[in-house]
Structure 1
Amino acid sequence: MKGKVAVVGVGHTAYGAFPDRDEYSLAAEAFTRALEDSGLRKADVDGLAICRIPEYTRMGETLGLNPRWTMQFPPHGRMSGMGILEAAAAIATGQASTIAMLYANIGRSRRVRYGGDEIPSVWDRWGYTSPGAAYAMMFQRHMHLYGTTTRQLGAVPVAIRNHACLNPDAVMRKPITLDDHEASRPIVAPLRLFDYCLINDGAVCLILTARERAADLRKSPVVIAGHGGYDGLATSAILGYDHDCFYDHVRHAGQQSYDVAGVKREDVDALMVYDNFSPAVLFALEGLGFCERGESGPFVESGAISLGGLIPVNTDGGHLSNSYLQGWALNVEAVRQIRGEAGARQIADCKVVQYVQGTPCSRSIIYTAGDC
């Protein structure tokens, strides 16, 4: 599958609260924008994959598609990495030639809380109130083992918010400081309000096709050059908690993707991290080896993850400040950075971008420019 598939179209809706719209309406808008971005015709699309949209048959009817390959993924955030790789495999093996991948979320207007009494069978039996509680416990352990502080942790949402301020589509565009982070209300100690992702309505679409075909389309293709995965089910499948802060999960997935792509960590120009909670960024940086284990606190405190730093992270504002689209929008940002379409947040000469989700089921994707 190495280098055989490219992303040729991306699109998204506005993000916010849209109580008068449903998943199908939002996804259709994102699809229309991605199709226009690609220069393809609707008739060219013969594959459809959806996530967090209730029914793929209705989605196909809404769009007027008759695909020969379809897939409906569970609503979990980990499906962003898994789903893109499944679609790429389908194209590489000839099951489809061009696949539209759609994700839509109406969590804000429906007041979804992702925890508490909404999913008691998963969390309440251990005394947790939300997935954030697991990250709070892992970060407490990180503080105990390595001396990491909440002020160092605050450098993550501050840097990512600064990036969002350069993104006209981001939901949160008011700058915050480390003092603001420390003064924000606790949610699950030691995590505070600014350590938690947003919950918004919105939709994203990515269109994938074979690399050979992509060369003739409207924009330069962005190639899926490498991929890796590690499902740490034995230690973290149910709780979303891992004693080692997903270190092995991320390390294995990341190294696999480097090996497949034929790149080194030092070649990566930008890193898109699934930042459902700010400690996830610390854990990913250590697992990938951008800093030594236990040193992610001082690393982010130094400004390394900001634009102009050693490895800019989540240049669109990520889940913490752009919108919580469960990883899908971060993959769109990876494409736009490589195309040079990121505007004020653009990284100069960006050729290699890595997406990583450091969850119980970790995935890593290496995107490269088509001429790399």
Structure 2
Amino acid sequence: MNLRDKAVVSGVGETRYVRAPGSGKTPISLQLEAALAAIADAGLKPTDIDGLIPFAIGPLVAEDFITNFGIPDLSFSALTPLGGASATASLQCAAAVIASGVCRHVLLSLGRNGYSGTRITSRIAAMPQFRVVGEFEVPTGAVAPVQFYAPIARRHMELYGTTSRQLGEIAVTMRRHALLNDNAVMTEPLTLEEHQAARMISDPLRLFDCSLESDGAACVVVSAADHAKDMPKRPVFISGVGEGHPESPSAVSQRADLLAFGTHKAARKAFHMAGVQPADIDVAEIYDCFTFIVLRQLEELGFCAAGEGGAFVQDGGIALGGRLPVNTHGGLLSQAHVGGMNHIVELVRQLRGEAGRAQVQGAELGLVTGFGDMCDGSVAIMRRG
């Protein structure tokens, strides 16, 4: 089924993002708050929602929304359990059930108290995917994503001469974008020298190469395309979607090619469905769990060739005004870690022209990615209506 333009993102909503000992709100209350904001943004009522896709490893299930919102007739619920690729993958799932006629308005939800509550190592250990690394990675002491990806980054450096300073360019750019965003937890500038002086977390990844832990929630409403005429905001059409998984085996350290992510497969499908090329993209929100993952995704998405990611990000290439503005909200590195749902929110605002000081002028076509813990990839291409 070709899902091109069969669905629109009709509403987006988010809470305040905080990084403090206690936000005073549970993950459930955070998501309900963001969901109500997204539903109102779509010009709908909570009872209009007939499909739900909560975050796969989050605390909410469909019944929580049914009970709290009084949803009278839910037609569909699902999970997309791909870790950091889940949010963007849920766009494909929502578009598919809408195109098939099962639903008209699907709510996608993601939120957590990742700073004041459950931290990353505990969350990863609770994921079904964690058993994949139990045989090879865990016995060596690798129990967190940074330890899974550090050898991949080192491999790229050895093959192509990529440097830590080039990774630092990504961190510095994300911070610069976050300073334009009133809902970002990082509010102080970051210099390349500060990046280089920061402590090593897992060689070659330093402190500022790693994404944040934060509290907050973001939600998105996906609606049937014919709802566009009734929306209070400019519609944003989902033109291409794709999901991809790396080659077997699933254990990252045992793959023949450490640099082959699922992103390439997902991108091929999404670009084909949308009928566009990488050169057509005006703005990109790229999942940035680590700086290196942004660099490699740029290559796998086709914005540059393998080994050219370092050169691509240098000299303002991914900054506002550069050849491809990336993560205009500050991303997971400097805005907040909301599993990539905040990336979708930002892309929608960019295509509506609502991104404030970070607005990419004339943005009509954008791309958002997700990246899962076993290097799964998800891609969505959206256009301004």
TM-score range, shorter chain: over 0.9
After superposition, give the CA deviation of every residue in 1:160-199 in whole Å (9 maximum; x if it has no partner).
1100000000111211011010011111111111011101
Moved more, 111-120 or 35-44: 111-120
Which residue, out of 128, 135, 155, partners 2:169?
155
Which residue, out of 146, 150, 164, partners 1:132?
146
**Deviation at 1:80?**
1.0
**Deviation at 1:352?**
0.6
Alpha carbons 2:86, 2:370 under 8 Å: kept: no
**Deviation at 1:42?**
2.2
1:366 aligns with 2:381: yes
Residue 48 (structure 1) aligns with: 52
Alpha carbons 1:12, 1:202 under 8 Å: kept: yes
Residue 14 (structure 1) aligns with: 16
Residue 338 (structure 2) aligns with: 325
**Deviation at 1:15?**
0.9
Q: What 5-or-longer segments of structure 1 have no aligned partner?
A: none
**Deviation at 1:259?**
1.2
Alpha carbons 1:115, 1:130 under 8 Å: kept: no
* Map 1:267-278 → 2, pairs under 5 A: 267-278=280-291
- Where 1:255 maps in the other structure, the secondary structure is helix
Alpha carbons 1:50, 1:101 under 8 Å: kept: yes
Which residue, out of 217, 222, 239, partners 2:236?
222
Percent same amino acid among aligned pairs? 36
Residue 71 (structure 1) aligns with: 78
CA distance in 2: counterparts of 1:221 and 1:295, whole angstroms: 35
Name the aligned partner's letter for residue 210 of structure 2.
Y
Moved more, 25-34 or 286-295: 286-295
Residue 81 (structure 1) aligns with: 88
Which residue, out of 68, 71, 79, partners 1:62?
68
Q: 1:118 to 1:69 in 2, by over 3 A?
A: closer
Name the aligned partner's letter for residue 49 of structure 1.
I
1:311 aligns with 2:336: no
- Where 2:217 maps in the other structure, the secondary structure is strand
CA distance in 1: counterparts of 2:121 and 2:255, whole angstroms: 19
Residue 201 (structure 1) aligns with: 215
**Deviation at 1:358?**
4.3
Moved more, 277-286 or 18-27: 18-27
**Deviation at 1:355?**
1.0
Alpha carbons 1:337, 1:346 under 8 Å: kept: yes
Which residue, out of 50, 70, 93, partners 2:100?
93
After superposition, give the CA deviation of every residue in 1:226-267 in whole Å (9 maximum; x if it has no partner).
1122211514x2338865454463222212211110111111
Which residue, out of 110, 118, 129, partners 2:117?
110
Number of matched pairs: 369
1:354 aligns with 2:367: yes
- Where 2:17 maps in the other structure, the secondary structure is coil
Residue 34 (structure 1) aligns with: 38
* Map 1:241-260 → 2, pairs under 5 A: 244-247=257-260, 249-260=262-273
Alpha carbons 2:248, 2:255 under 8 Å: kept: no
- Where 1:209 maps in the other structure, the secondary structure is strand
- Where 1:87 maps in the other structure, the secondary structure is helix
- Where 1:199 maps in the other structure, the secondary structure is coil
CA distance in 2: counterparts of 1:102 and 1:48, whole angstroms: 8
- Aligned-pair RMSD on alpha carbons? 2.0
Q: 1:200 to 1:116 in 2, by over 3 A?
A: closer
* Map 1:256-295 → 2, pairs under 5 A: 256-295=269-308
Alpha carbons 2:365, 2:381 under 8 Å: kept: yes
Residue 29 (structure 2) aligns with: 25
- Where 1:310 maps in the other structure, the secondary structure is coil
Q: What 5-or-longer segments of structure 2 have no aligned partner?
A: none
Residue 7 (structure 2) aligns with: 5
CA distance in 1: counterparts of 2:234 and 2:52, whole angstroms: 22
Moved more, 181-190 or 253-262: 253-262
CA distance in 1: counterparts of 2:341 and 2:231, whole angstroms: 22
TM superposition score normalised by structure 1: 0.94
- Where 1:102 maps in the other structure, the secondary structure is strand
